[in-house]
Structure 1
């Protein structure tokens, strides 16, 4: 094979076989390079998805604490001992399933008062866990301060040397804002958002002595859905709850005007709004036993033009983000693989002619 009638190697056959060899080698190199490119693309896609998830991740509450300068205590004082006892026992009452704990311990002038409030969609076990973590962290953040407050996504803890139960306080204010700006007409958006928040404020303020909480979503301009929740400590009167939220809403134009979302905490009330789901259904309240003070709270459903966000618990937003990221990652990987296969099939059909031409040019030189 490849010999002419004189027994010599036919140059055309040789060139053809050599070209096939080069072509196979070229294909091998091509696939090797494509594998490297695909690996880089997959890695870069993973990095992009990581940062994309980080951008829409939950607010950071690591530094969300307030240490008051209204008084100090020493490490071996009676106040310190009373504080330790109160924080240790604050969430020990497992009959409380409505997310509000308040207690006091000791005698004046070393008496300590504490309030623990969980978000209305947080389950009892998660509520107690959140508050327990804050009872550990807050004295570390604010060592020797008689009054302090720690906010978390799902709960808030306060303690003080003075009676804080039933007293509305709208300062200090803790604020975090979404980094993304709202698209469209700002005036229209502000009016839409305020209407949503005012409706939730009325609903929460009308709640009972166990819970003053409301959540809803509503579709507004550009067919975008806005999710929001508001909450007061249930020891407040209806008027005090409304006033506290009204004051908190006033912070929006100072810090977060035109932003897609924000979370604002005060000692007595808080609210949050976003353009993605971040809450679950309102947690159930069991019928209180006869030794539990306070009537069963009336939790009004969202208004007819809004609907509660679906979900199993308070971590719904994180689940949505993670699942969305995984799906996006899979789609990107599949597209990359399809592109690699397409290029692998397509390239050999285009290359032989150019390789053959290059070979003949070399031979002629």
Structure 2
């Protein structure tokens, strides 16, 4: 896809990307071409903080959407998308639906496509997960788990209470006897409702414990097509 042959400021390593493909394949090369065209249009027209969908063709078509944190610059988001779109197309070459995530040191992004309308229709809960190695100086797993819960409780209501353009929250808490600092953010796609967003973020928190906090990871990220949760011990 030549539309995305851009110079990357921060190219992701393989462990910083994840994808999920749905069942069933497109039945024609024309629809695969429509997907490429829809991605090209998405990239061209995407403006923060939008969660923008584009489709092509009457009747059968392909819908695409992308999400970046609203706290980053437009060009930073586009750099992330330019890495993620070809990665998704490569790993879901013919499938009717797919989602991919790229997680970098200071930000992340998500790209999604489907053979049906995306906006306002939450996807099935599939998860991508990333974790940092354990920090031996950290508090124990129970203390970190409690810290992650406190961070989640502080952020999720604010994120879910956002409007049709932005459902995003950022903040920090202290936890454990040594008052470790824990930083994080949460985001939902703004097309879903408050209750759906809250459920997704609760699920993201549970997934976070499985992959990251119970292993005393320095940082962790859990992502779905509808929301994500990120925490770190490093002040971003």
Per the normalisation by structure 1, the TM-score is 0.55
1:151 maps to what in 2?
101
Distance between the aligned counterparts of 1:200 and 1:59, measured in 2? 29
Whether 1:89 aligns to 2:41 is: yes
Whether 1:194 aligns to 2:149 is: yes
Question: Is residue 170–residue 244 contact of structure 1 (8 Å, CA) maintained in 2?
Answer: no
- Partner secondary structure for residue 52 of structure 2: strand
Structure 1 runs of 4+ with >3 Å offset: 58-63, 181-189
Question: Is residue 147–residue 174 contact of structure 2 (8 Å, CA) maintained in 1?
Answer: no
Distance between the aligned counterparts of 2:15 and 2:65, measured in 1? 19
Whether 1:125 aligns to 2:75 is: yes
1:226 to 163, 176, 182: 182
1:103 to 54, 57, 65: 54
Runs of 5+ unmatched residues, structure 2: 1-11
Q: CA deviation at 1:266?
A: 0.8
Distance between the aligned counterparts of 1:97 and 1:89, measured in 2? 15
How many aligned positions are there? 217
Q: How does 1:291-330 map to 2 (within 5 A)?
A: none
Distance between the aligned counterparts of 2:17 and 2:75, measured in 1? 24
Radius of gyration: which is bigger? Answer: 1
Per the normalisation by structure 2, the TM-score is 0.83
Q: Judging changes above 3 Å, is the alpha-carbon distance between structure 1 residues 261 and 97 closer, same or farther for their aligned structure 2 residues?
A: closer
- Partner secondary structure for residue 249 of structure 1: helix
Distance between the aligned counterparts of 1:252 and 1:127, measured in 2? 24
CA RMSD of aligned residues (A): 2.2
Distance between the aligned counterparts of 2:232 and 2:42, measured in 1? 32
2:166 maps to what in 1?
211
Structure ranking higher in strand proportion: 2
Distance between the aligned counterparts of 2:102 and 2:29, measured in 1? 28
Whether 1:165 aligns to 2:119 is: yes
Q: How does 1:267-306 map to 2 (within 5 A)?
A: 267-278=225-236
Q: Judging changes above 3 Å, is the alpha-carbon distance between structure 1 residues 137 and 258 closer, same or farther for their aligned structure 2 residues?
A: closer
Q: CA deviation at 1:236?
A: 0.9
Q: CA deviation at 1:258?
A: 4.1
Runs of 5+ unmatched residues, structure 1: 1-57, 279-365
Q: Judging changes above 3 Å, is the alpha-carbon distance between structure 1 residues 181 and 160 closer, same or farther for their aligned structure 2 residues?
A: same
Q: Judging changes above 3 Å, is the alpha-carbon distance between structure 1 residues 59 and 188 closer, same or farther for their aligned structure 2 residues?
A: farther
Q: Judging changes above 3 Å, is the alpha-carbon distance between structure 1 residues 122 and 218 closer, same or farther for their aligned structure 2 residues?
A: same
Distance between the aligned counterparts of 1:206 and 1:265, measured in 2? 19
Q: CA deviation at 1:190?
A: 2.1
